Structure 1
Amino acid sequence: MSTFSKRIIICGTDTDVGKTIVSSFLVQGLKGIYWKPIQSGTEEGTDTKTVCNLLSLEPNSYLPERYKFKAPVSPHWAAEQESAFIEPSNLKLPDLDELIIIETAGGLMVPLNRDWLQIDQLKAWGAPIILVARTGLGTLNHTLLSLEALKHRNLEVLGIVLNGPPHKDNPKTLEQFGDTKILASLPIFDEVNAKVLSQEWHKQQLDQKLKRYIQN
Protein backbone atom coordinates (compact mmCIF):
# COMPACT_ATOMS: atom_id res chain seq x y z
CA MET A 1 0.00 0.00 0.00
CA SER A 2 1.42 3.39 -0.93
CA THR A 3 1.98 6.12 1.62
CA PHE A 4 -0.47 8.37 -0.21
CA SER A 5 -3.31 5.88 0.06
CA LYS A 6 -2.95 5.61 3.83
CA ARG A 7 -4.79 8.82 4.59
CA ILE A 8 -8.46 9.23 5.49
CA ILE A 9 -10.08 12.64 5.88
CA ILE A 10 -12.98 13.11 8.29
CA CYS A 11 -15.19 16.00 7.23
CA GLY A 12 -18.64 17.02 8.45
CA THR A 13 -21.81 18.31 6.88
CA ASP A 14 -21.90 21.02 9.55
CA THR A 15 -20.30 22.03 12.83
CA ASP A 16 -20.84 19.85 15.91
CA VAL A 17 -21.91 16.77 13.95
CA GLY A 18 -19.50 14.53 15.84
CA LYS A 19 -16.33 14.57 13.74
CA THR A 20 -14.07 14.22 16.77
CA ILE A 21 -15.89 11.15 18.10
CA VAL A 22 -15.84 9.59 14.65
CA SER A 23 -12.14 10.43 14.30
CA SER A 24 -11.46 8.76 17.66
CA PHE A 25 -13.53 5.78 16.53
CA LEU A 26 -11.37 5.37 13.43
CA VAL A 27 -8.03 6.12 15.07
CA GLN A 28 -8.65 3.37 17.58
CA GLY A 29 -10.23 0.88 15.19
CA LEU A 30 -7.66 1.29 12.42
CA LYS A 31 -4.70 1.92 14.75
CA GLY A 32 -4.05 5.19 12.97
CA ILE A 33 -2.41 8.49 13.85
CA TYR A 34 -4.69 11.43 14.63
CA TRP A 35 -4.12 14.84 13.04
CA LYS A 36 -6.23 17.99 13.20
CA PRO A 37 -4.24 20.54 11.16
CA ILE A 38 -6.40 23.56 12.03
CA GLN A 39 -8.09 24.25 15.37
CA SER A 40 -10.13 27.30 16.27
CA GLY A 41 -11.78 27.84 19.63
CA THR A 42 -8.83 26.82 21.80
CA GLU A 43 -10.25 28.60 24.86
CA GLU A 44 -12.76 25.73 25.00
CA GLY A 45 -9.99 23.16 24.61
CA THR A 46 -8.71 21.36 21.52
CA ASP A 47 -9.94 18.31 19.68
CA THR A 48 -6.42 16.88 19.78
CA LYS A 49 -6.49 16.89 23.58
CA THR A 50 -9.98 15.38 23.55
CA VAL A 51 -8.90 12.49 21.35
CA CYS A 52 -5.66 11.98 23.29
CA ASN A 53 -7.50 11.84 26.60
CA LEU A 54 -10.28 9.65 25.26
CA LEU A 55 -7.94 7.06 23.78
CA SER A 56 -4.93 7.58 26.08
CA LEU A 57 -2.79 8.12 23.01
CA GLU A 58 0.97 7.90 23.14
CA PRO A 59 2.92 10.92 21.78
CA ASN A 60 3.69 9.07 18.54
CA SER A 61 -0.02 8.46 17.88
CA TYR A 62 -0.98 12.05 17.13
CA LEU A 63 0.46 15.05 15.29
CA PRO A 64 0.43 18.66 16.49
CA GLU A 65 -1.81 21.24 14.87
CA ARG A 66 -0.32 23.47 12.19
CA TYR A 67 -2.61 26.32 13.24
CA LYS A 68 -4.41 27.06 16.52
CA PHE A 69 -6.64 30.08 17.20
CA LYS A 70 -8.55 31.22 20.25
CA ALA A 71 -11.86 32.38 18.74
CA PRO A 72 -14.55 29.67 18.21
CA VAL A 73 -15.36 30.89 14.69
CA SER A 74 -14.53 29.98 11.09
CA PRO A 75 -10.78 29.38 10.68
CA HIS A 76 -10.26 32.28 8.27
CA TRP A 77 -11.81 34.79 10.66
CA ALA A 78 -10.20 33.28 13.73
CA ALA A 79 -6.83 33.69 12.00
CA GLU A 80 -7.56 37.28 11.02
CA GLN A 81 -8.43 38.17 14.62
CA GLU A 82 -4.89 37.14 15.57
CA SER A 83 -3.29 38.85 12.54
CA ALA A 84 -2.47 35.43 11.16
CA PHE A 85 -3.00 33.72 7.80
CA ILE A 86 -3.63 30.08 6.98
CA GLU A 87 -1.22 29.21 4.19
CA PRO A 88 -2.27 26.13 2.17
CA SER A 89 1.36 25.26 1.43
CA ASN A 90 1.80 24.75 5.19
CA LEU A 91 -0.90 22.06 5.19
CA LYS A 92 0.93 19.44 3.16
CA LEU A 93 0.30 15.86 4.21
CA PRO A 94 2.93 14.48 6.58
CA ASP A 95 5.37 12.07 4.97
CA LEU A 96 4.73 9.05 7.18
CA ASP A 97 4.14 5.40 6.38
CA GLU A 98 1.45 5.02 9.03
CA LEU A 99 -2.24 5.59 8.41
CA ILE A 100 -3.25 9.15 9.34
CA ILE A 101 -6.82 10.09 10.25
CA ILE A 102 -7.22 13.79 9.40
CA GLU A 103 -10.02 15.74 11.08
CA THR A 104 -10.98 18.97 9.33
CA ALA A 105 -12.24 22.16 10.96
CA GLY A 106 -15.95 22.60 10.24
CA GLY A 107 -17.73 21.73 7.01
CA LEU A 108 -16.70 21.49 3.38
CA MET A 109 -17.26 25.11 2.37
CA VAL A 110 -15.68 26.75 5.42
CA PRO A 111 -13.06 29.31 4.31
CA LEU A 112 -9.49 28.72 5.46
CA ASN A 113 -8.54 32.13 4.09
CA ARG A 114 -10.26 34.67 1.85
CA ASP A 115 -9.21 32.79 -1.29
CA TRP A 116 -9.22 29.16 -0.16
CA LEU A 117 -12.11 26.99 1.00
CA GLN A 118 -11.76 23.81 2.98
CA ILE A 119 -12.94 21.83 -0.03
CA ASP A 120 -10.06 23.35 -2.02
CA GLN A 121 -7.72 21.87 0.57
CA LEU A 122 -9.45 18.49 0.28
CA LYS A 123 -8.84 18.62 -3.46
CA ALA A 124 -5.18 19.51 -2.88
CA TRP A 125 -4.79 16.59 -0.48
CA GLY A 126 -6.59 14.19 -2.78
CA ALA A 127 -7.17 11.63 -0.03
CA PRO A 128 -10.41 9.64 0.43
CA ILE A 129 -13.09 11.18 2.62
CA ILE A 130 -15.56 9.95 5.20
CA LEU A 131 -18.47 12.33 5.62
CA VAL A 132 -19.95 12.71 9.11
CA ALA A 133 -23.64 13.64 9.29
CA ARG A 134 -26.56 13.76 11.70
CA THR A 135 -29.31 11.16 11.61
CA GLY A 136 -32.29 13.48 12.03
CA LEU A 137 -34.22 16.30 10.41
CA GLY A 138 -32.19 18.40 7.98
CA THR A 139 -29.57 15.76 7.30
CA LEU A 140 -30.88 14.86 3.85
CA ASN A 141 -30.37 18.34 2.44
CA HIS A 142 -27.04 19.00 4.18
CA THR A 143 -25.59 15.59 3.38
CA LEU A 144 -26.72 15.36 -0.23
CA LEU A 145 -25.41 18.88 -0.94
CA SER A 146 -22.08 17.93 0.62
CA LEU A 147 -21.86 14.74 -1.43
CA GLU A 148 -22.67 16.65 -4.60
CA ALA A 149 -19.91 19.18 -3.89
CA LEU A 150 -17.37 16.41 -3.28
CA LYS A 151 -18.32 14.42 -6.37
CA HIS A 152 -18.32 17.57 -8.52
CA ARG A 153 -14.62 17.86 -7.67
CA ASN A 154 -14.01 14.14 -8.30
CA LEU A 155 -13.09 13.50 -4.68
CA GLU A 156 -13.33 9.93 -3.43
CA VAL A 157 -16.00 9.40 -0.76
CA LEU A 158 -15.62 6.19 1.22
CA GLY A 159 -19.06 6.63 2.76
CA ILE A 160 -21.02 8.28 5.55
CA VAL A 161 -20.92 7.87 9.31
CA LEU A 162 -24.15 8.97 10.97
CA ASN A 163 -24.36 10.32 14.52
CA GLY A 164 -27.53 10.38 16.56
CA PRO A 165 -30.72 8.49 17.38
CA PRO A 166 -31.73 5.81 14.84
CA HIS A 167 -33.91 7.01 11.97
CA LYS A 168 -36.16 4.65 10.00
CA ASP A 169 -35.75 6.24 6.57
CA ASN A 170 -32.82 8.68 6.34
CA PRO A 171 -30.01 6.10 6.01
CA LYS A 172 -31.52 4.32 3.00
CA THR A 173 -32.54 7.64 1.42
CA LEU A 174 -28.99 8.97 1.74
CA GLU A 175 -27.59 5.81 0.19
CA GLN A 176 -30.09 6.00 -2.66
CA PHE A 177 -29.79 9.65 -3.63
CA GLY A 178 -26.18 10.09 -2.52
CA ASP A 179 -24.99 6.99 -4.40
CA THR A 180 -22.88 6.06 -1.41
CA LYS A 181 -23.01 3.79 1.62
CA ILE A 182 -23.56 4.23 5.33
CA LEU A 183 -20.36 2.91 6.92
CA ALA A 184 -21.67 3.17 10.48
CA SER A 185 -24.42 4.75 12.53
CA LEU A 186 -23.27 5.77 16.00
CA PRO A 187 -25.77 6.30 18.81
CA ILE A 188 -25.70 9.06 21.38
CA PHE A 189 -23.47 7.45 23.99
CA ASP A 190 -24.28 7.85 27.68
CA GLU A 191 -20.55 7.84 28.24
CA VAL A 192 -17.77 7.84 25.66
CA ASN A 193 -14.54 6.02 26.35
CA ALA A 194 -12.09 3.76 24.55
CA LYS A 195 -13.89 0.58 25.65
CA VAL A 196 -17.28 1.81 24.40
CA LEU A 197 -15.80 2.83 21.04
CA SER A 198 -14.04 -0.53 20.71
CA GLN A 199 -17.27 -2.41 21.37
CA GLU A 200 -19.10 -0.24 18.84
CA TRP A 201 -16.36 -0.79 16.26
CA HIS A 202 -16.83 -4.55 16.35
CA LYS A 203 -20.60 -4.18 16.40
CA GLN A 204 -20.53 -2.02 13.26
CA GLN A 205 -18.06 -4.40 11.53
CA LEU A 206 -15.90 -1.58 10.20
CA ASP A 207 -13.01 -4.02 9.87
CA GLN A 208 -14.63 -5.45 6.76
CA LYS A 209 -15.80 -2.13 5.31
CA LEU A 210 -12.41 -0.47 5.64
CA LYS A 211 -10.14 -3.51 5.54
CA ARG A 212 -7.73 -2.00 3.01
CA TYR A 213 -6.77 0.60 5.62
CA ILE A 214 -6.13 -1.80 8.48
CA GLN A 215 -2.45 -2.01 9.34
CA ASN A 216 -0.74 -5.35 8.90
Structure 2
Amino acid sequence: MTQGLIVTGTDTGVGKTVFAAALAGALQATYWKPIQCGLADGGDSTRVQELAGLAPDRILPEAYRLAMPASPHRAAEAEEIEISLSRLGLPEVSGPLVVEGAGGLMVPLNRQALMIDLFAWWRLPVVLVARTALGTINHSLLSIEALNGRNIPILGIAFVGEEIADTERTITEMGNVRRLGRLPLLDTLTPAKLAAAFAAGFRVEDFR
Protein backbone atom coordinates (compact mmCIF):
# COMPACT_ATOMS: atom_id res chain seq x y z
CA MET A 1 0.00 0.00 0.00
CA THR A 2 1.35 3.41 -0.94
CA GLN A 3 2.29 5.57 2.03
CA GLY A 4 1.85 9.18 1.15
CA LEU A 5 0.18 12.55 1.54
CA ILE A 6 -2.05 14.65 -0.66
CA VAL A 7 -1.29 18.36 -0.84
CA THR A 8 -4.28 20.42 -1.89
CA GLY A 9 -5.24 24.07 -1.59
CA THR A 10 -8.26 26.06 -0.56
CA ASP A 11 -8.04 27.80 -3.95
CA THR A 12 -5.74 28.29 -6.92
CA GLY A 13 -2.61 30.30 -6.24
CA VAL A 14 -2.45 29.82 -2.45
CA GLY A 15 1.13 28.51 -2.52
CA LYS A 16 0.54 24.76 -2.49
CA THR A 17 3.20 24.00 -5.11
CA VAL A 18 5.89 25.81 -3.13
CA PHE A 19 4.70 24.09 0.03
CA ALA A 20 4.66 20.71 -1.74
CA ALA A 21 8.24 21.31 -2.84
CA ALA A 22 9.30 22.15 0.70
CA LEU A 23 7.54 19.08 2.07
CA ALA A 24 8.89 16.72 -0.57
CA GLY A 25 12.40 18.03 0.04
CA ALA A 26 12.11 17.68 3.81
CA LEU A 27 10.83 14.11 3.51
CA GLN A 28 13.07 13.24 0.55
CA ALA A 29 9.85 11.96 -0.95
CA THR A 30 8.76 11.07 -4.44
CA TYR A 31 6.61 13.83 -5.94
CA TRP A 32 3.69 13.34 -8.31
CA LYS A 33 1.42 15.91 -9.93
CA PRO A 34 -0.99 13.66 -11.82
CA ILE A 35 -2.70 16.46 -13.77
CA GLN A 36 -0.81 19.51 -15.01
CA CYS A 37 -2.78 22.33 -16.63
CA GLY A 38 -0.70 25.07 -18.19
CA LEU A 39 2.74 24.39 -19.64
CA ALA A 40 4.02 27.89 -20.38
CA ASP A 41 6.56 27.76 -17.53
CA GLY A 42 7.35 24.05 -17.80
CA GLY A 43 4.84 22.92 -15.21
CA ASP A 44 4.89 22.38 -11.46
CA SER A 45 6.98 19.20 -11.56
CA THR A 46 9.96 21.10 -12.94
CA ARG A 47 9.59 23.80 -10.32
CA VAL A 48 9.26 21.30 -7.48
CA GLN A 49 12.37 19.40 -8.57
CA GLU A 50 14.37 22.62 -8.61
CA LEU A 51 13.07 23.92 -5.26
CA ALA A 52 13.15 20.58 -3.44
CA GLY A 53 16.52 19.49 -4.77
CA LEU A 54 15.14 16.05 -5.61
CA ALA A 55 16.82 13.59 -7.94
CA PRO A 56 15.09 13.25 -11.32
CA ASP A 57 13.85 9.75 -10.48
CA ARG A 58 11.94 11.24 -7.52
CA ILE A 59 9.71 13.21 -9.90
CA LEU A 60 7.07 11.03 -11.50
CA PRO A 61 5.66 11.93 -14.92
CA GLU A 62 2.19 13.42 -15.02
CA ALA A 63 -0.68 11.26 -16.22
CA TYR A 64 -2.03 14.30 -18.08
CA ARG A 65 -0.05 17.31 -19.36
CA LEU A 66 -2.49 19.87 -20.70
CA ALA A 67 -1.44 23.11 -22.34
CA MET A 68 -4.30 25.38 -21.31
CA PRO A 69 -4.02 27.05 -17.87
CA ALA A 70 -7.59 26.21 -16.89
CA SER A 71 -9.68 23.75 -14.92
CA PRO A 72 -8.65 20.17 -15.81
CA HIS A 73 -11.96 19.38 -17.50
CA ARG A 74 -11.75 22.48 -19.69
CA ALA A 75 -8.06 22.05 -20.49
CA ALA A 76 -8.71 18.44 -21.49
CA GLU A 77 -11.70 19.36 -23.65
CA ALA A 78 -9.56 21.92 -25.46
CA GLU A 79 -7.37 19.01 -26.57
CA GLU A 80 -10.43 16.87 -27.36
CA ILE A 81 -9.75 14.33 -24.62
CA GLU A 82 -11.46 13.39 -21.38
CA ILE A 83 -9.62 12.76 -18.13
CA SER A 84 -10.21 9.18 -16.98
CA LEU A 85 -9.92 8.31 -13.30
CA SER A 86 -8.74 4.83 -14.29
CA ARG A 87 -5.42 6.41 -15.37
CA LEU A 88 -4.98 8.08 -11.99
CA GLY A 89 -4.37 5.17 -9.66
CA LEU A 90 -1.68 5.81 -7.06
CA PRO A 91 1.81 4.74 -8.15
CA GLU A 92 3.83 2.26 -6.13
CA VAL A 93 7.00 3.94 -4.87
CA SER A 94 9.73 3.28 -2.37
CA GLY A 95 9.43 5.64 0.58
CA PRO A 96 7.01 8.53 1.07
CA LEU A 97 4.94 10.00 -1.74
CA VAL A 98 3.74 13.60 -2.00
CA VAL A 99 0.84 14.02 -4.43
CA GLU A 100 -0.23 17.52 -5.46
CA GLY A 101 -3.74 18.16 -6.67
CA ALA A 102 -4.74 20.67 -9.34
CA GLY A 103 -6.53 23.75 -8.03
CA GLY A 104 -8.97 23.29 -5.15
CA LEU A 105 -11.17 20.43 -4.03
CA MET A 106 -14.19 21.11 -6.22
CA VAL A 107 -12.31 21.51 -9.48
CA PRO A 108 -13.88 19.32 -12.20
CA LEU A 109 -11.73 16.57 -13.71
CA ASN A 110 -14.37 15.82 -16.32
CA ARG A 111 -18.11 16.38 -16.57
CA GLN A 112 -18.82 13.76 -13.90
CA ALA A 113 -16.02 13.83 -11.31
CA LEU A 114 -14.30 16.41 -9.12
CA MET A 115 -10.80 16.49 -7.69
CA ILE A 116 -12.21 15.61 -4.27
CA ASP A 117 -13.68 12.42 -5.74
CA LEU A 118 -10.15 11.37 -6.69
CA PHE A 119 -8.96 12.08 -3.16
CA ALA A 120 -11.80 9.98 -1.75
CA TRP A 121 -10.68 7.09 -3.96
CA TRP A 122 -7.03 7.40 -2.95
CA ARG A 123 -7.82 7.60 0.78
CA LEU A 124 -4.51 9.24 1.68
CA PRO A 125 -4.29 11.88 4.42
CA VAL A 126 -4.69 15.43 3.12
CA VAL A 127 -2.62 18.49 3.94
CA LEU A 128 -4.79 21.52 3.25
CA VAL A 129 -2.77 24.59 2.23
CA ALA A 130 -4.42 27.93 2.99
CA ARG A 131 -3.25 31.49 2.50
CA THR A 132 -3.48 33.85 5.47
CA ALA A 133 -5.03 36.75 3.53
CA LEU A 134 -8.57 38.07 3.73
CA GLY A 135 -11.20 35.49 2.76
CA THR A 136 -9.26 32.46 3.88
CA ILE A 137 -11.56 31.59 6.80
CA ASN A 138 -14.50 30.98 4.48
CA HIS A 139 -12.45 29.07 1.90
CA SER A 140 -10.72 26.96 4.55
CA LEU A 141 -13.82 26.00 6.53
CA LEU A 142 -15.70 25.11 3.35
CA SER A 143 -12.78 22.92 2.24
CA ILE A 144 -12.61 21.20 5.63
CA GLU A 145 -16.35 20.56 5.56
CA ALA A 146 -16.12 19.07 2.06
CA LEU A 147 -13.30 16.72 3.08
CA ASN A 148 -15.15 15.64 6.21
CA GLY A 149 -18.30 15.04 4.18
CA ARG A 150 -16.47 12.42 2.13
CA ASN A 151 -14.63 10.93 5.12
CA ILE A 152 -11.26 11.93 3.71
CA PRO A 153 -8.64 12.03 6.48
CA ILE A 154 -7.16 15.49 7.13
CA LEU A 155 -3.61 15.48 8.50
CA GLY A 156 -3.83 19.20 9.17
CA ILE A 157 -3.66 22.67 7.69
CA ALA A 158 -0.55 24.49 6.51
CA PHE A 159 -0.71 28.25 6.22
CA VAL A 160 1.18 30.35 3.67
CA GLY A 161 1.73 34.08 4.10
CA GLU A 162 2.19 36.64 6.82
CA GLU A 163 1.26 35.62 10.35
CA ILE A 164 -2.36 36.42 11.24
CA ALA A 165 -2.74 34.58 14.53
CA ASP A 166 -6.48 35.08 15.01
CA THR A 167 -7.29 33.84 11.51
CA GLU A 168 -5.18 30.73 11.97
CA ARG A 169 -6.71 30.05 15.38
CA THR A 170 -10.26 30.57 14.11
CA ILE A 171 -9.79 28.11 11.25
CA THR A 172 -8.14 25.40 13.31
CA GLU A 173 -10.59 25.67 16.22
CA MET A 174 -13.79 25.96 14.21
CA GLY A 175 -12.62 23.42 11.65
CA ASN A 176 -11.31 21.07 14.36
CA VAL A 177 -8.07 20.49 12.46
CA ARG A 178 -4.44 20.55 13.49
CA ARG A 179 -2.30 23.57 12.64
CA LEU A 180 0.82 22.10 11.06
CA GLY A 181 2.66 25.39 10.70
CA ARG A 182 3.12 28.41 8.49
CA LEU A 183 5.38 29.09 5.53
CA PRO A 184 6.14 32.81 5.14
CA LEU A 185 6.30 34.57 1.80
CA LEU A 186 9.97 34.71 0.77
CA ASP A 187 11.44 37.70 -1.06
CA THR A 188 13.65 35.38 -3.10
CA LEU A 189 12.78 31.75 -3.52
CA THR A 190 15.77 29.41 -3.50
CA PRO A 191 16.07 25.77 -2.41
CA ALA A 192 18.14 26.74 0.63
CA LYS A 193 15.80 29.53 1.76
CA LEU A 194 12.73 27.36 1.26
CA ALA A 195 14.23 24.47 3.24
CA ALA A 196 15.19 26.81 6.06
CA ALA A 197 11.73 28.40 6.16
CA PHE A 198 10.05 25.00 6.26
CA ALA A 199 12.35 23.80 9.04
CA ALA A 200 11.58 26.94 11.06
CA GLY A 201 7.81 26.75 10.57
CA PHE A 202 7.05 23.02 10.65
CA ARG A 203 8.04 19.79 12.39
CA VAL A 204 8.89 17.19 9.80
CA GLU A 205 7.84 14.49 12.27
CA ASP A 206 4.23 15.65 11.89
CA PHE A 207 4.26 14.48 8.28
CA ARG A 208 5.71 11.02 8.77
Distance 2:150 2:157 in 1: 18
Give aligned pairs, total: 208
Q: Does 1:71 align with 2:54?
A: no
- The residue aligned with 1:172 is 169
- The residue aligned with 1:160 is 157
- The residue aligned with 2:119 is 122
- The residue aligned with 1:206 is 203
Deviation at 1:200, TM superposition (A): 2.0
RMSD: 1.1
- The residue aligned with 1:31 is 28
The TM-score, its normalising length taken from structure 1, stands at: 0.93
Could you say if the C-alpha distance between residues 81 and 196 of structure 1 is closer, same or farther in structure 2, counting changes exceeding 3 Å?
A: same
Deviation at 1:166, TM superposition (A): 1.1
- Pick which of 181-190 and 199-208 moved more: 199-208
Where 1:116 maps in the other structure, the secondary structure is coil
Where 2:102 maps in the other structure, the secondary structure is strand
Q: Does 1:149 align with 2:142?
A: no
Where 1:44 maps in the other structure, the secondary structure is coil
The TM-score, its normalising length taken from structure 2, stands at: 0.96
% same residue: 42
Q: Which runs of 5+ in 2 are unaligned?
A: none
Distance 1:185 1:205 in 2: 7
Distance 1:133 1:205 in 2: 15
Which residue, 73, 81, 84 being the options, matches 1:84? 81
Q: Does 1:12 align with 2:9?
A: yes
- Pick the structure with more strand per residue: 1
Deviation at 1:204, TM superposition (A): 2.3
- Pick which of 198-207 and 163-172 moved more: 198-207
Q: Which runs of 5+ in 1 are unaligned?
A: none
Distance 2:93 2:106 in 1: 28
Q: Is the 8 Å Cα contact of residues 50 and 191 (structure 2) preserved in structure 1?
A: no
Distance 1:201 1:188 in 2: 11
Q: Does 1:110 align with 2:107?
A: yes
